[in-house]
Amino acid sequence: VTTPEVSKKSATVNIETTIKNSLGISVDALLKSIIYNPEGNIVAQTETNQNVVEGKNVVITHDIIVENPQLWNITEPQLYKVVSEIYQDGKKTDSYETPLGIRYFEFDPYEGFSLNGEKMKLLGVCQHHDLGCLGSAINTRALERQLEILQAMGCNSIRTSHNPPAPELLDLCDKMGFIVQDETFDMWRKKKTPYDYSRYFPEWHERDLTDHILRDRNHPSVMMWSIGNEVLEQWEHVDADTLDIQQANFILNFEKNVDPDIINSGEMSVNSLLTTMMVNIVKSLDTTRPVTSGCNEVNPWNNLFKSESMELYGFNYHHENYADFHETYPGKSFYVSEATSGLMTRGFYQMPSDSILIWPDSYPPSGKPIGNDENQCSSYDNCHVPWGSTHEESWNMVKKYDHIAGTYIWTGFDYLGEPTPYWWPSRSSYFGIIDLAGFPKDVYYMYQSEWTDKDVLHIFPHWNWEPGQIVDVWAYSNAKEVELFLNGKSLGTKSKESDELHVMWRIPFELGTIKAVSRTDGQIVLEKEIKTAGEATQLIATADRSKISADGYDLSFVTVDVLDENGNFVPDADNQIKFEIEGDAKIVGVDNGNPVSHESMKGSTIKAFYGKCLVVVQAGENPGEITLTASANGIKNTSVKIKSKKL
């Protein structure tokens, strides 16, 4: 289903339906194509009689006009549906539903991305497939929660790094208004790890790519196809098949170790031809979307670029090359396929905050100490990998230049595995804007202040330090200025300067309260305060949803915070929290966002990590009340009630 012509007054919907006859005899069939609007009413339909020969496929094309269409966009993702019905001798023998989002979009080399004629940036994140403590098995509600958290940040686009996504994710993106970069491969013929997909690529890549496009091409949220991510075929390196992924990253990003004869020849290598072949496969199945690839070799000797078959060029990192992109690639459309790779642990702070930490510093490591004894990374935006940048640095480049269609931050959520910059005992990533449990890190609010119209004021870190210790206090805000108070005394008003996306005060710690007041044109916009917390005395549990479906599948995510006697959040609490459940439900996961934790994610207990933890409750099939109780030694417990019912 495609929409070749779209305006506010009308849209042409092109429907190609394949009918297969497996009855053993030729038959006369009637195909009806019916379009329902978002309210469920029929707005257009047509039909065709067709003789279908036994054992053959026949393709029937319908062009239907929809008057005054409700356009699909990121704020109002209006979803029509196409229902295809087959009748034989007056009886309906088969039917099929296809989602339909009526929209048009464009990637312009100099003006960037537009949707329905409205210019906008793709404000995206890269997402791996896992769901934290729930693992890799897909649960629709868990995916929806991730998207809700991202959408509240201002995110409007997802890169399915680096594999075809679960169909449930695309269904949700259709409904919620996310734009999707749909990615097929993480590697081609050249391996990144000993047992990766490269073993199957020669035999399977054509079929897998074809199946992927056929499966996903009717999703209105999908607006570009990616055929690869940092594939080693980008360049001609004699050791390409012997490198691990970190070695490949460093060679691609720093050494530029390529064969000069190939650079200067102007001839396309077999890898350029392979690129063209895969682009042609995509175009044979879908001409409505551009084909791209995430490339961390940004120079013109990149074999994928030399093919000149991709309409849309994506750079992984290399923010220093964004501005002059068209000097190297005139007339090409451009976006940032992967950016930043900042390293952060929620609740952990390493000062001074204006000292940029690059971990690791080289590959192989130079021998310099990497990181700290806690195996954590600073939650100030001051730590990143050597091929990356700070969040502020990369986003400033993207928003500054019109020709950049958008960006995809690595990553939206922390994920299991790849614990860069550390090794064992770390077991999950530090890259996320949001931790593995779904708790936002501080930089989440930087993006919220930049990517949304809502008023934002977020101050950090916590206010539990040693007397006299020098502390860097940051504020993310989209007001014109922020004033900071310590125990009622003003420490001055500051505005963001130059390319800074935060303001900072460097002050000695003093027991009490810090308070930030944001103002625009002299008017108070928001006020936020943090108090020094005392000893942990109580818990509070908050469910993301108090009503869930009694279907044996639905979930409620319950956050447990550790508080002192005055209700202040205790930022360094690490109490062992135990959970008990009553009613027809079960605990299916626990987490706290700690990349170094080796506690079971499938148990009924977990430590708080910097004052917080998560428990995931799954409903049974019997409606009723569910009571979850959280307790810890020596402090007051808490309970939360959840109702499950048949929906």
Q: Please name the residues in contact with 64: beta carbons below 8 A apart, sequence gap of 6 or more.
A: 12, 13, 15, 33, 35, 44, 45, 46
Angle made by CA atoms 569, 570, 575, in degrees to the nearest 5:
125
Angle made by CA atoms 433, 436, 442, in degrees to the nearest 5:
30
Are 426 and 420 in contact by the 8 Å Cβ rule? The answer is no
| 118-140 b/e (C-beta count within 10 Å ≥ 16 → b) | eebbbbbbbbbbbbbbbbeebbe
Concatenate the DSSP letters of all residues of 384-420 into one string. Answer: E-TT---HHHHHHHHHH-TTEEEEEEE-SB--BS--T
Q: Is 500 a residue of the active site?
A: no
Whether the link from the prior residue into 352 is cis, omega within 30° of 0, is: yes
Distance of CA 82 to the CA centre of its chain: 29
Q: Is 76 a residue of the active site?
A: no
- What is the number of alpha carbons within 13 Å of residue 217 lying toward its C-beta? 21
The secondary element (H helix, E strand) that includes residue 94 is strand 91-100
Are 48 and 64 in contact by the 8 Å Cβ rule? The answer is no
Measure the CA–CA gap between 615 and 559, rounded to whole angstroms: 7
Measure the CA–CA gap between 48 and 17, rounded to whole angstroms: 11
3-state secondary structure 29-56: EEEEEEEECCCCCEEEEEEEEEEECCCC
Given 230, 236, 393, 483, the catalytic residue = 230
Radius of gyration of the chain (CA): 27
101-to-67, 158, 602 alpha-carbon distances in Å: 14, 17, 39
Q: Please name the residues in contact with 419: beta carbons below 8 A apart, sequence gap of 6 or more.
A: 426, 427, 428, 429, 430, 595
Instruction: Determine the angle formed by the axes of helices 443-451 and 140-153, rounding to 10 degrees.
Output: 70
Measure the CA–CA gap between 530 and 507, rounded to whole angstroms: 15
Are 138 and 171 in contact by the 8 Å Cβ rule? The answer is no
- What is the number of alpha carbons within 13 Å of residue 42 lying toward its C-beta? 8
The secondary element (H helix, E strand) that includes residue 504 is strand 503-508
Given 183, 233, 338, 392, the catalytic residue = 338
Q: How many CB atoms lie within 10 A of CB 8?
A: 10
Give catalytic residue positions.
Answer: 230, 338
